[in-house]
């Protein structure tokens, strides 16, 4: 029963994360009105804190000590990272992200709009024009969530191997959470090598500390079904164009690579540690399927839509830099408590609990 409860908590965190993203029916329907290229730029700017914050989370929680587990000793841990979004990334100016001249603020004096981590009070409106400079669509940018901390969970198992090596695995099979949320899956692997035991002689006895190097890779994916309908009162640009819009969905994949050097010292049941590492994180996301987008209007006011297949594609590196961690591990028999604070472009907190046997 306990194991099932842990999985339910883990899935609940993921559901909250996905639900709070900009990937919802109404927001996709709004942004897509600007056309593929401009919708991609708007989505990138609005979701920037989400991409960066989740990248931080993927690279967090791998290690809380330089000491590797002894041969065949293991533990299972559940953790959560909260990446703090700096104020500069809580808003963006729609006129500064390279939109085409066909998409302009309805009110030229109101160009600042929140990102997903910004306030939920701004309502910047954009108007879309056709090639003849006729206004064909208007839409309001999504509000922020009012939460400047991006959560990311970790579910990890670790086991000790020979010669001071520890193997960690993050794995979750593809799970369909619901028709409105879609499916998620995650996998990853990490390796930690304790250095002093590799040195012959008494080096590991002389030095009163543990030193290790570690690396880890995590990939998290999700797929969300969508239903963006044909704009009301519009007609197709051509009777021969595709008019099947049943395959709409979001596909997103986040991946992160973490490397670090760790130093720690155990005091009975308490182990503080310090690490310096280098992290990268990437996002590969997009709207898949066919989408009807209004592209012109007749002299009589009839809107005309054009079908676009896979209109939005985001493939970018979100994080690429150094990170410093300070934290602790508390061993209470088979129960563990972990905590750390990380300093980088997005500072973050990580905490968790674990269960296992032996050191």
The pLDDT tens digits for 164-210 are: 899 999 987 777 766 566 677 889 999 999 998 777 655 556 678 89
State yes or no: pLDDT of 302 exceeds 70.
Answer: yes
**What pLDDT, on the 0 to 100 scale, is given for residue 179?**
59
Residues of the chain by 3-state class (helix, strand, coil), percent to 5? 20, 50, 30
When pLDDT is cut at 50, 70 and 90, the band that residue 4 belongs to is very low
- Percent of the chain residues past pLDDT 70, beyond the cut: 89
DSSP bridge pairs for 285 = 252, 314
DSSP bridge pairs for 98 = none
As a whole number of angstroms, the distance between CA 187 and CA 217 comes to 8
For residue 131, give the DSSP letter: T
Verdict on whether the full-model pTM lies above 0.85: yes
For residue 196, give the DSSP letter: G
CA 241 to chain CA mean position, Å: 35
Residue with tokens 């905490």: 351
Structure-token pair, residue 328: 């602790």
Domains and CATH numbers, the chain: 2-357 (2.40.160.20)
| pLDDT mean over 100-105 | 95
Gap between the terminal Cα atoms of the chain: 26
Q: Per-residue DSSP letters for 74-126?
A: EEEEEEEEEEEPPGGGSEEEGGGS---TTEEESSTT--EEE-TTS-S----EE
- Percent of the chain residues past pLDDT 90, beyond the cut: 62
- What 3-state DSSP class applies to 49? helix
Show the CA angle centred on residue 248, arms to residues 240 and 97, nearest 5°.
100
């Amino acid at each position: 029963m306990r194991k099932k409860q842990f999985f339910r908590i883990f899935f609940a965190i993921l559901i909250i994360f996905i639900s709070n993203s900009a990937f919802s029916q109404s927001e996709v329907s709004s942004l897509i009105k600007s056309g593929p290229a401009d919708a991609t730029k708007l989505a990138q700017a609005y979701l920037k804190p989400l991409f960066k914050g989740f990248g931080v989370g993927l690279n967090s929680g791998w290690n809380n000590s330089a000491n590797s587990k002894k041969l065949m000793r293991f533990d299972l841990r559940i953790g959560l990272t909260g990446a703090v979004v700096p104020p500069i990334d809580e808003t963006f100016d729609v006129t500064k992200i390279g939109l085409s001249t066909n998409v302009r603020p309805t009110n030229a004096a109101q160009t600042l709009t929140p990102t997903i981590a910004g306030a939920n009070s701004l309502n910047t409106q954009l108007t879309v024009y056709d090639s003849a400079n006729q206004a064909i669509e208007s839409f309001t940018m999504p509000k922020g969530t009012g939460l400047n901390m991006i959560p990311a969970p970790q579910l990890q198992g670790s086991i000790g191997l020979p010669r001071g090596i520890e193997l960690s695995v993050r794995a979750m099979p593809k799970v369909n959470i619901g028709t409105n949320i879609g499916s998620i899956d995650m996998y990853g692997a990490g390796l930690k090598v304790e250095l002093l035991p590799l040195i012959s002689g008494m080096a590991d006895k002389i030095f009163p500390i543990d030193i290790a190097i570690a690396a880890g890779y995590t990939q998290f994916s999700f797929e969300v079904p969508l239903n963006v309908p044909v704009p009301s009162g519009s007609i197709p640009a051509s009777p021969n164009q595709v008019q099947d819009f049943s395959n709409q969905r979001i596909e997103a994949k986040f991946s992160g690579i973490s490397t670090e050097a760790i130093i720690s010292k155990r005091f009975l049941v308490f182990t503080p540690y310090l690490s310096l590492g280098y992290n990268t994180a990437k996002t590969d996301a997009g709207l898949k399927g066919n989408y009807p987008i209004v592209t012109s209007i007749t002299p009589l006011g009839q809107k005309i839509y054009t079908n676009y297949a896979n209109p939005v594609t985001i493939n970018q590196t979100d994080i690429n830099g150094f990170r410093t961690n300070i934290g602790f591990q508390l061993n209470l028999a088979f129960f563990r408590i972990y905590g750390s604070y990380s300093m980088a472009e997005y500072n973050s907190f990580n905490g968790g609990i674990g269960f296992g046997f032996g050191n």
